[in-house]
Structure 1
Amino acid sequence: MAVSTAPEATTSAQAAPGKLVEMNWDPITRIVGSLGIYTKIDFANRRVAECYSTSSIFRGYSIFMKGKDPRDAHFITSRICGICGDNHATCSVYAQNMAYGVKPPAIAEWIVNLGEAAEYMFDHNIFQDNLVGVDFCERMVKETNPGVWDKAQKTPAPHADKHGYKTIADIMTALNPFTGEFYRETLMVSRYTREMFCLMEGRHVHPSTLYPGGVGTVPTIQLFTDYITRLMKYVEFMKKVVPLHDDLFDFFYEALPGYEEVGRRRILLGCWGSFQDPNVCDYSYNTMTQWGRGMFVTPGVVVDGELVTTDLVDINLNIRILLGSSYYDDWDHEETFVKNDPLGNPVDRKHPWNQTTLPHPQKRKFEGNYTWVMSPRWLDKRTGDHLALDTGGGPIARLWATALAGLVDIGYIKATGHSVKIYLPKTALKPEVEFEWKIPKWSNAIERDRARTYFQAYSAAAALYFAEQALAELHAGRTRTFSDFTVPEEGIGCGFHEAVRGVLSHHLVIREGKIANYHPYPPTPWNANPRDIYGTPGPYEDAVQNTPIFEENGPDKFKGIDIMRAVRSFDPCLPCGVHMYVGNGKTIDTSHSPTFGLMQGAHK
């Protein structure tokens, strides 16, 4: 069977409105909320015409956090998510450190960094190889693109000597769920990486040893040895995984010319930074610009390939929370909590410090409001545009910002200004290697997935450095893991971190020693948000809308694999199941639709 191809995305706006097939995937199972993807597909032109992203569950953490003791914030907000709860706990602790004016001892910071590195290794591994990988496995490819499977059987894997699979088809077979060799191997990896996390933070995924001012983990030679033993197994594993995934992803570009358009959107990437350097970070807002740039993953906003800022103060002040097409009322007439930041800069009414959550349940209308997710935006002061930044699932934004900034150079990792070099030392069975993630041409599904693999290696390399620094503190006798603090009667704080799948910030206001306002913003609302007041679609919507269809099945057996690859490339809180419930689809006539033309032209 011939392999399907598609016209260039730039021709989509010229396609005449006609018969569209309405197809929906709801739920795409995930941890935080319930994601639904609603589409209208133009099968005649092999393209997605419209896309709407919905979430059908209201969380309300910003409401019931009020009045709580701020010292409980990290324990409570950890429960926001059942897979990256430690990221929330860490970010909350960062915000509390600022509000309390406390700096943890250096060894405590290295322990937190080791825990978070283990979380990245664990989560990216299980998502990439046990969930995303299924979209590229033999069974899925046979069902959706038999022509691609035929070609995969005849295509030698360029790096077979590194990973052991002779052909691309062998890699696809190894990814088959439960029966594939590589699939089963990665399940074992997820076990010992979780053990690494628990060594540092007590338990997964809701840490029992993280606190403002430090950690409750007792640092010993045995503790770090147990961690490093598992880490070196992971380092050896990554020497196999990076070339394996490069072979697989490169093959899709070769087998399906034009596949770079799947999930592609304008390069609008946000990274809030990760891994604090205790030699620089004191958690003071007044020095946040400096210690933000000292992070071992550099914060930054990348617009059309240009690094616009690496300043956490700038990043913070320009966050805007817009209602968009969501089920909330505006808070313009509510109390203003923070008029100026500690540096005297004015704080906008739409900033998280000043947000009041006013839920307004209502019937879903795609021409009106259709989701519980608001529309976070970042104000580009150069143009006045409210940018719909995405995280690309986390890794592509982290690597892109870090590469362009060129600030990270720790021996195991070096940012060059156009790439990130990752050095992994000799292990039991494999020699030392150096991988280089190079800034890609596109922000699309394949490159988001590829970056996830490289960031696993990045996390392992960073952990090697953190372990060395922690041991140096231990050998020097600096073993205290906690600094004393008092909770102020009034104060504000903000924490910036990277959850597994992208940007994470917590904004805290304290009055009379209690939480007066608290707003956590994880990557899900940044990626899954709806159209805003300016008509700008959210990242999922934008990435799927106008995506070409390469699947060889027609409407009667359509699985939507290209759409799912686009959505899953963002790592939308572990989508472990997709249920299509509209049968063969419903044909609708859009010849007289007032919105169809607008949707066709909304991409890029």
Structure 2
Amino acid sequence: METIKGGNGNLVDMNWDPITRIIGNLGVYTKIDFENRRVAECRTTSSLFRGYSVFLRGKDPRDAHFITSRICGICGDNHATCSVYAQNMAYGVNPPALSEWIVNLGEAAEFIFDHTIFQDNLVLVDFCEQMVKETNPGLLGKAEAAEAPNAALHGFKTIADIMRAYNPFEGKMYQEALRMGRVTREMCCLMEGRHVHPSTLYPGGVGTVASPQLFTDYLNRLLSVLDFVKRAVPMNDDLFNFFYEALPGYEEVGRRRIQLACWGSFQDPAVNDYRYQTMGTWGRAMFVTPGVVVDGKLVTNDLVDINLGLRILLGSSYYQDWQQEERFVTRDPLGNPVDHRHPWNQTTIPAPQKRNFEGGNYSWVMSPRWQDPATGEMFPLETGGGPLARLWSTALSGLVDTPYVKATGESIRISLPKSAELPEVVFEWKVPKWCNTIERDRARIYFIAYAAGMALYFIDQALGEIRQGRTRTFADFQVPEEAVGVGFHEAVRGVLSHHLVIRDKKIANYHPYPPTCWNASPTDSNGIAGPMEDAIVDTPIFEENGRDGFKGIDILRTVRSLDPCLPCGVHMYLGKGKVIEESHIPTLGLNGRMKR
């Protein structure tokens, strides 16, 4: 962190680059008004460009899911799944129902795995006893005296005891989360062959061998996860509610106007045929309902409207504009006009340059936005770290209704049955008043419970297919000469879309847009700040340290609440780099062994 006396009154430049406990290459550059204890200005930047949209051109589209899985070493299976969805549409193939339940089970396990590791081993370190002692010792004193309201459910007597449970390496819940990470990765591997780059997911279905034993092995692990979740949810509630009560005004930390995006997840094979023409219908049938939520109200849950409203802006990004380029797609399969700034028509033209925060360009992340077709307003949508938008959109739509998870129109009820150690528990996530740091983090633990409940339902459905003798997991297809496809899915940290254009049976254009592209986008060409910048600006400072010992904990909590993953957010640039060739032909040594 660099501290420099700023030239603008009492503002002080304070920078964190790179930020730890996330996937790196994110820099946050702020001006702090210590006199008024607030963040006055913020710019977020990424120093990494990778270019998947460049080198995918000309490839066989059937390789797309294997290639795009490597965009990220954490949510690679989310990319593979989304790419498969886009290919299914382009090829006109409808996978067997059993294969869809298997994909849903794999993705449910991934949500539980990633959210648990991130929440308990990375995010809650910011709220643990050790960190609070360093940044807010007065708050820790209050926590020692504050009894935990849900102690009977989770076993920790005071709020300070909960904070100690998340101390790195030593805390009980910190250690338990690591164990859960192993169990949930095994669940992923059972369904997808490998984690984090699946080996059994394909367009047209899966290569997983489906049997009752497969789902029993998954269920046995899931039951142990339920015990963990039943303790973790009330622990998180106690901790986060304490921050509101003990620090009046803390709801303003990371707060911004409610502008949320969810692209939906978990397909219903009884409805989904992967045709663009029916995408609005099968999108609403997803077990996480897609939607755009503005000012707390659902604007749309129609994936066709969502797709047509996508716009990729530049402004502060290191790219040349592609406005002069020919459009790949002028109209969608329904005949609707497709904008030049839509992902189907984007051309990635990198333009490396010196970083300039004073009205210039400063990030490799572009600025995706969504334009409301009714009003024309352009929104810098955020994902709420993923879970907040998912729960909010699903709750308001009120369409999900299973024995384990039900959307009521204003809340989500999650019923987890008796598990290995604990009795049945019912949780209810209610639409909050704010879109802020605390509520993004709170939603994450509730979505772990949501994904666990849905996994139970998916197991029931998969076993039902097997009992009926419907055991096929793959459907044949042909690659067309020309086609377009779009995959809509939720990566762990939020919205994920893959836009595909095929010409001459090859990829003519391909653009993956993961959540960090949205959350960490810089100020766009209309002067609108990206969600992370927006959430940090005007954040009040509650840290007790003065300027010299300032750690910026409230800022960092806000950054991590959005769960940034910069390898996804910036898509390898070689420029005029050198090509180095080396020969590694193995030969036999004198002792007959292979050597190089």
TM-score, normalising length: structure 1? 0.92
Alignment of 1:37-436 (within 5 A): 37-367=28-358, 368-436=360-428
Q: Secondary structure at the match of 1:128?
A: helix
Deviation of 1:428 (Å): 2.8
Deviation of 1:29 (Å): 4.4
Deviation of 1:382 (Å): 3.1
Structure 1 equivalent of residue 5 of structure 2: none
The answer to whether the aligner puts 1:497 opposite 2:489 as a matched pair is yes
Separation in 2, partners of 1:175, 1:328: 42
Point out which structure has higher relative CO (alpha carbons under 8 A, 6+ apart): 1
In structure 1, give the amino acid aligned to 2:515: P
Match of 2:552 among 560, 585, 599: 560
CA contact (8 A) 2:45 2:365 kept: yes
Quickly say closer, same or farther: Cα 1:574–1:532, change in 2 above 3 A: closer
Deviation of 1:402 (Å): 0.2
Separation in 1, partners of 2:155, 2:215: 32
In structure 1, give the amino acid aligned to 2:238: D
Deviations 1:496-526 (A, max 9, x none): 0000000000000000000000000000110
Quickly say closer, same or farther: Cα 1:61–1:372, change in 2 above 3 A: same
Separation in 2, partners of 1:270, 1:162: 33
Match of 1:516 among 498, 505, 508: 508
Gaps of 5+ in 2: 1-7, 568-596
Separation in 2, partners of 1:224, 1:242: 26
Gaps of 5+ in 1: 1-16, 576-604
In structure 1, give the amino acid aligned to 2:55: F
Separation in 1, partners of 2:323, 2:149: 58
Quickly say closer, same or farther: Cα 1:29–1:149, change in 2 above 3 A: closer
Separation in 2, partners of 1:168, 1:324: 45
Q: Secondary structure at the match of 1:468?
A: helix
Separation in 2, partners of 1:571, 1:358: 27
Separation in 1, partners of 2:157, 2:566: 30
Structure 2 equivalent of residue 12 of structure 1: none
Deviation of 1:190 (Å): 0.7
CA contact (8 A) 1:137 1:172 kept: yes
Quickly say closer, same or farther: Cα 1:525–1:30, change in 2 above 3 A: farther
Separation in 2, partners of 1:509, 1:312: 18
Structure 2 equivalent of residue 580 of structure 1: none
The answer to whether the aligner puts 1:475 opposite 2:450 as a matched pair is no
Deviations 1:30-88 (A, max 9, x none): 77661000000000000000000000000100000000000000000000000000000
CA contact (8 A) 2:32 2:39 kept: yes
CA contact (8 A) 1:266 1:304 kept: yes
Separation in 2, partners of 1:116, 1:42: 43
Q: Secondary structure at the match of 2:73?
A: coil
Structure 1 equivalent of residue 480 of structure 2: 488
In structure 1, give the amino acid aligned to 2:29: Y
Q: Secondary structure at the match of 1:440?
A: coil
Runs of 4+ in 1 over 2 A off after TM superposition: 29-33
CA contact (8 A) 2:31 2:41 kept: yes
The answer to whether the aligner puts 1:506 opposite 2:529 as a matched pair is no
The answer to whether the aligner puts 1:458 opposite 2:450 as a matched pair is yes
Deviation of 1:573 (Å): 2.2
Match of 1:440 among 432, 435, 452: 432
Deviation of 1:172 (Å): 0.5
Separation in 2, partners of 1:562, 1:419: 28
The answer to whether the aligner puts 1:569 opposite 2:561 as a matched pair is yes
Deviation of 1:350 (Å): 0.2
CA contact (8 A) 1:31 1:82 kept: no
Separation in 1, partners of 2:133, 2:24: 32
Q: Secondary structure at the match of 2:390?
A: helix
CA contact (8 A) 1:32 1:81 kept: no
Separation in 2, partners of 1:144, 1:321: 39
Structure 2 equivalent of residue 586 of structure 1: none
Separation in 2, partners of 1:93, 1:415: 28
Structure 2 equivalent of residue 537 of structure 1: 529
Q: Secondary structure at the match of 1:377?
A: strand
Q: Percent identity?
A: 74
Separation in 2, partners of 1:440, 1:227: 33
Deviation of 1:238 (Å): 0.8
CA contact (8 A) 2:39 2:536 kept: yes
Deviation of 1:433 (Å): 1.1
Deviation of 1:385 (Å): 1.6
Structure 2 equivalent of residue 551 of structure 1: 543
The answer to whether the aligner puts 1:18 opposite 2:18 as a matched pair is no
